[in-house]
Structure 1
Amino acid sequence: MCTGTRRFRLARVILSIVQPLCLVITSSAPRAACSSSTLTNVSIDDSSPDPFTGTRISYGSIGNITDGAGWNIGQNCSICLAQPDPSQVFDGTWHDTSTWFAVKGPNAVNKPFASVSFTGVAVFVVGIIVLSTPATSSPLNNTRMFFQVDGAKEESFSNDASLGDEVIYSYNVTLFSKTGLENGLHNITMICGDGRSSADSLCLLDEIIYTTVELMASDSDSSSSNSSSTSNTSSLSNDIESATALTGPQPSISTPSNDLSAPVSITTVAATSVGSTLFIALLVGFYFARRLRKRSQDFSLNDNRKSQRSIPVRTTYSGHSEHAVGTLSDHDMVTNHGLPSYTDIASDMATVATTGEDKSAHSESKISEKNFIEYARWY
């Protein structure tokens, strides 16, 4: 009864340990599966292709189909007015353009543009501006530009340089940012100037950064992945808006992680931890089970020993003339005679009591009353 109660209590203890572990396994597995995407910033240099898609920024001028018309490669342009420090710009390169009033009239104003396509949820345009300049009538004094995303006009940027003794540049300036886009293919276009024929503008483009959603390995099929991508995009875009509003983009290539083992590593670590805990719990349960089993065996052994002590043990004689209290003569131990019976001893004692003599032929074998009592007790 006690052993059964102890085993029942042990089972309850093991269950209380294993049950929370099962909850940990079931709750942690979906979390690992949900970690199937991450946001990554990708920088497209003004002179280099997209490091992952190979797409390049296209340069031209509105009304001029010639590729690169109206633009100069800044670090190689010796006749350009703007001469920034190459060590301060991304990858040491930039593109230079400016607007001017054409001699053919207001409608002939130069309108250089730069455009690129990307797949992501946000985009940033980074460039260089002039903070101060000794001249006030040259394109160095003003920076004017406006932007389009997927053909729709967005924000514009303008800067007026202050008058100073020397030309001072400001690097890594975010000229435009657009977040909260649907995760898909988009186009960003930067147009130098504000569209007015009388406004000169200097535009120095350094890089274009876009934010992409890097998908990780997932156990779900393609249909469920496609249906969940829309909801993931809406939540991710909110995170982008709050993050980029405070920090803005970083002017460096953020290499997307091609390592698909990140979520697998999390799952592996979680499974290893849970498995180790289960193994320890089983060892503890096995240890207590063995202790209870051994204790129950000890109790049963003690009960057997107690029951054996209560059984009287009959005395065995080791010699033909030896018994538990005294000795008998050779006359009493002759062959086939054996030990005297209770009747014989009682008869002899009665004779002695009435006559005072021993009618036995061998008086030396008389047994005293004390010997009789002791003998009867052991017999």
Structure 2
Amino acid sequence: MKITLVAGARPNFMKIAPIIHEIKKQQDQGTAISYRLVHTGQHYDKNLSDTFFDELNIPAPHTNLEVKSGSQATQTGAIMVGFERELQEHPCDLVLVVGDVTSTMACTIVAKKAHIKVAHVEAGIRSGDLKMPEEINRMVTDSITDYFFTTSQKATTYLQSAGHLEEHIFFVGNVMIDTLLHNIKRLRKPEFWEKLALSEKSYFVLTLHRPSNVDALEDFSILLKKIVAKAKGAPIIFPVHPRTQKILKDAQLSFENLHYVAPQGYLSFIYLVKNAKAILTDSGGITEEASVLNVPCLTFRNSTERPETLRLGTNKLVGNDPLKIDVAFDTLDQGNWQQSQEIPKWDGKAATRIIATLLKLYGN
């Protein structure tokens, strides 16, 4: 069985890593399975791509399409052209895509037009917000995918209600949590830890990159000022996403306790998350990691495609609502934040279930 794995952006690498490890494990046992790793180059900052392959102990990709940045349409088109050539030169039995980035959707379309079956890891999740590019990517990908691997029973139920065959939907758990649990004892302090005099549970980690939060300079400035005020002087560590960096330069915002740092490698970033007082974010994946690590998480969005982080995890949606932000910080200061509970199948074995299922489907 030949599988082509697609990685396009930072979250993809953490999701692909345990799948590669499981394939290698099967190979060592004599199973006839192989893979080819395709990096589309959707993120090209070294700390957002190459570093993750080193830290997560997976080999360099077999090829890099080197698409880099551009508009949604430009990036999608470039990925499709490059991936079509890749599949022509290196045929496979199955294309496996993960997550919801542009590469996920673009490579799924190309594979299906080449009559190659597609498996989608993290299928069926929905935010209901069509203003999010990721939501469009999810909808398009799932509409033509052959095999669906879900992180929750809710995602499974959604796919069933959408008319997909039950025998093609598999509730396997969360591969990103596989990576988290596998590396939890390998975490390392970031280089700036001592310089900024950080200590456990005394600082915040901030990540913002969604257009709804950062593209309008005035709104972005108001949100940052609100966050800084509610932090009450505690350090705020802000690893700056490339698309946010330019906006910050234009804003010329400076606060004594807000520290802009370079994008972090996986091991140092999770160290920051694990030891933070709280996470302040508009990311989806970080809410999963924070929940498993039982770290309070404020999400500056009005919806989430990961409702289990609200119900069983440590996540609260505050959007850009000043009142909700105030209430959340007050709850945090009072020590009354909700505690994480066990989330079904987020146990570090999702990749094992995925590969076992594929081997069964393909007769191995």
TM interval, short-chain normalised: under 0.3
What's the TM-score, normalizing by structure 1? 0.20
Q: Which has the higher helix share?
A: 2
What's the TM-score, normalizing by structure 2? 0.21
Structure ID, larger Rg: 1
Higher RCO structure, 1 or 2 (CA under 8 Å, sep 6+): 1
